Structure 1
């Protein structure tokens, strides 16, 4: 089962996809947002589908695919969470998770354009597994408690302008990652059983392979990350956690940075695929 938001920006319809069909969730949900998760929206959506109370969404295949979680309170990101990516970045593997933030305003749909900021010279792609928080979490006792607060999983592209992220005094990670459109998310949130430890994760630029890894190569697994974050902050329903990217980005020096006209494709096993065209701002 998957949650989606379909339609033009600002007017998306909440939807549920199951067994190859897409259903209108409007009768049971105003939107797929923090309030939806906090109010037990997933359970209500499942019940409505099981009881046959949802109608198929007419013309769903022709609708724009929007950001699958509207207005998240926080977009938390983990840096260098694959040892090979840390190495290609010139760093030792971290001893504890590296945290930075993306502003929710950078999020766009999985097929929307990525717009480079004026003067961009080092825009980079980063394929990532993204965790959607479903319940409030404060100081979880152990990583074993994390699955109970996870609503589902989706795909993220942590687009990064490295000249801003790394080229400024002291380093400005978040500053280089918050430009508008620098957070393609989706296409959907998988709310069925997902094992986050064994998913293939890949990216291509203009059809050429760049990243090709598996999530089991994370230094800090998903459950550990959620537990760790809950020790320092309150995780709330609808919050997003970008869990890090594998090796194969332009920062490695092996590939050119993004330019207008490039096409980015990212896929994760069982979660679908993204595709963005890069344009100049």
Structure 2
């Protein structure tokens, strides 16, 4: 199933996307399906089957909307954790001039950075070197602590897309990555979360990014250095993963800082990331000074 959070003129909904339509579970049964995907994931064991039954029955035709007529919101806007893996494609390590790591390189983003489909990425007033990074994101489905690699897939609810926007001048000037990675709007995610049963192998997915219709990144998740089970197991040795936590698995080569000449995002740019079996995440870029 493909889950989305969306808004109409009067209401926010939890929905299931089917083709060019989205069915509001919230309108079918608001008590069971409030417009919060994190809550759904936390209660997934009890609600998933009920959601499937509601969709099949589709008792209320007014619960069906065209995707073109609704506003798609971030599927999860307040996760407990946004965990990111850096340098997880060998060719990306090469373009940054860094050696492939011996273990996953971990950093975090915060919820203030999250935006959704078609929202604008804002270039901060204190950065002139803002970059893009297409990433597959793992959505944790249940509490995970000290799990093995063999067990790890049992803790995955599904997958989505993130654009790991990065202010490179701040990232490298600071000596650590927090400020350069988690400015407002620096974590576009969505537009949907696809359940893991629809992604038979997360390590065989094409992943690409277009900047103004020019392909900048084009790879496959079979090039990941550390796999999804390895990442989940590694993280769970140190921290308890919770339902709705987001783990961005790293970006392939082709980022702006790795090019000659370098390519930085600018006012008016448009970015789209496509990952096989998940969909396409599209965002525009604006200069924060232009907004004021």
Residue equivalent to 2:276: 269
* Residue among 124, 132, 139 paired with 2:139: 132
Secondary structure, in 3 states, of the residue corresponding to 2:135?
strand
* Structure 1 residue ranges without an equivalent (≥5): none
Q: Distance in 2 between matches of 1:225 and 1:47?
A: 34
Residue equivalent to 1:3: 3
Bigger shift: residues 176-185 or 15-24: 15-24
Q: Distance in 2 between matches of 1:92 and 1:270?
A: 31
Deviations 1:215-245 (A, max 9, x none): 0100001111111111110000000000000
Bigger shift: residues 251-260 or 116-125: 251-260
Secondary structure, in 3 states, of the residue corresponding to 2:40?
helix
Q: Distance in 2 between matches of 1:10 and 1:148?
A: 37
Residue equivalent to 1:167: 173
Q: Indicate the structure with greater helix content.
A: 2
Would you say 1:24 and 2:20 are equivalent positions? no
Bigger shift: residues 50-59 or 110-119: 50-59
Q: 1:15 to 1:256 in 2, by over 3 A?
A: same
Residue equivalent to 1:12: 12
Q: 1:149 to 1:10 in 2, by over 3 A?
A: farther
Deviation at 1:209, TM superposition (A): 1.2
Kept in 2: contact 1:31–1:70 (CA 8 A): no
Would you say 1:120 and 2:127 are equivalent positions? yes
Kept in 2: contact 1:12–1:66 (CA 8 A): no
Residue equivalent to 1:193: 198
Q: Distance in 1 between matches of 2:68 and 2:214?
A: 27
Residue equivalent to 1:220: 226
Deviations 1:93-140 (A, max 9, x none): 000000100001110002111011103211000000001111100100
Moved over 6 A (4+): none
* TM-score with structure 1 setting the length: 0.93
Residue equivalent to 2:243: 237
* Structure 2 residue ranges without an equivalent (≥5): none
Q: Distance in 1 between matches of 2:87 and 2:50?
A: 37
Q: Distance in 1 between matches of 2:122 and 2:259?
A: 22
Secondary structure, in 3 states, of the residue corresponding to 1:86?
helix
Name the Cα RMSD after superposition.
1.9
Residue equivalent to 1:105: 112
Q: Distance in 1 between matches of 2:264 and 2:109?
A: 20
Deviations 1:157-193 (A, max 9, x none): 000001111112xx22121111111111011001142
Residue equivalent to 1:156: 162
Q: Distance in 1 between matches of 2:168 and 2:232?
A: 26
Aligned residues: 278
Q: 1:42 to 1:111 in 2, by over 3 A?
A: farther
Q: 1:134 to 1:10 in 2, by over 3 A?
A: farther
Residue equivalent to 1:37: 41
Q: 1:150 to 1:10 in 2, by over 3 A?
A: farther
